Amino acid sequence: MASRKPGVLALFDVDGTLTAPRKGVTKEMLEFVKELREVVTVGVVGGSDLVKISEQLGKSVIYDYDYTFSENGLVAHKNGELIGTESLKTFVGDEKLKEFINFTLHYIADLDIPIKRGTFLEFRSGMINVSPIGRNCSQEERDEFEKYDKVHNIRPKMVSVLREKFAHMNFTFSIGGQISFDVFPQGWDKTFCLRYLEEFQEIHFFGDKTYPGGNDYEIFESERTVGHTVTSPQDTIEQCRSLFLAK
């Protein structure tokens, strides 16, 4: 790899960028990444954990890319080796987490909505997922809640209360999907991985959800990156070809 351009990194989102949403990678893409890696350093950053990302990109993902950032970089690999981990538990600490969790459960207990099921709060390594109806509702109940929420603003109201009450914790609240919202420390979006990439002068980021509210927005907008919006894995290949491989 002597001919690789120094200081240049091509960094990719997973879903919708390297693979079709929630699908596995194609042989064509695997070949392409290999070809690209001869010219520039390559990295991948996904919101899912490494198990999920390996299912999509292949078991050898941490060796196929120079950098593999799972959970937005909370787990970081370089050339197959783990170079860093961070978690909500270590970063925020149990005392503060308990304060937040207790308040949130009380809020849900006092909330009058048509139905409630179970699993109102799911603790993950990099975020807390909060669902007023409870995550183990049926698909039909999900659809009903989503409609109800659009009229009654259950989630937006709850988020604004939590945001004010826990302003000192600097959490980001992100309403997504039908029944829940995510809570995580400010900056724990995809820009988190940039702390491992200080040696690069030119970081090209490719993602499909680069609009405000999308999970690629912050890193796409970051001053540290040159952002590229893609519409499909095929588009990713075409844009990279003209950027890095055109003669």
Residues in binding contact with Mg ion, number by CB under 5 A: 5
**9-17, 99-107, 186-194, 226-234 -> range binding Mg ion (CB under 5 A):** 9-17
Cα separation, 42 vs 16, in Å, equals: 17
* CB nearer to Mg ion: pick between 158 and 203: 203
Smallest gap from Cβ 229 to Mg ion, in A, equals 11
- Of the candidates 39, 20, 166, 3, the residue with the CA atom closest to the CA atom of residue 98: 166
Contact 187, 92 (CB under 8 A): no
Residues 151-190 contacting Mg ion, CB under 5 A: none
Per CB under 5 A, the list member of 71, 141, 208, 218 interacting with Mg ion is 208
135 is in an annotated binding site: yes
Cβ neighbors of 203 (< 8 A, separation 6 or more) are 9, 11, 194, 197, 224, 225, 226
User: 174 labelled as ligand-binding?
Assistant: no
Q: Which stretch binds Mg ion (CB under 5 A): 1-9, 145-153, 194-202, 204-212?
A: 204-212
75 or 133, CB closer to Mg ion? 75
Rounded distance, CA 140 to CA 120, Å?
17
Q: Go through 20-46 and write b for each residue having 16 or more CB atoms within 10 A of its CB, e for each that does not.
A: eeeeebeeebeebbeebbebbbbbbbb
Closest contact distance (angstroms) between CB of 181 and Mg ion is 19
Catalytic residues: 13, 15
- Residue 206: CB minimum distance to Mg ion, A: 10
- Residue 47 near Mg ion by CB under 5 A: no
Contacts of 189 (CB under 8 A, 6+ apart): 72, 172, 215, 217, 218, 219
CA angle 4, 246, 77 (to 5 degrees): 40
Q: Provide the mask over 50-79, with x wherever binding to Mg ion is found by CB under 5 A and - wherever it is not.
A: ------------------------------
CB of 67 to Mg ion, least distance (A): 17
Residues between 14 and 43 with contacts to Mg ion, criterion CB under 5 A: 15-16
Residue 217 CB coordination number (10 Å) = 18
The CB density around residue 6, as the number of other CB atoms within 10 Å, is 10
4 is in an annotated binding site: no
Q: In terms of C-beta density within 10 A (0-12 exposed, 13-18 middle, 19 or more buried), how is residue 81 classed?
A: exposed
User: Which residue, 68 or 104, has its beta carbon nearer to Mg ion?
Assistant: 68
Nearer to Mg ion, 42 or 108 (CB): 42
Binding residues: 13, 15, 22, 124, 135, 142, 180, 182, 208, 220, 225
Q: Which residues bind Mg ion (CB under 5 A)?
A: 13, 15-16, 208-209
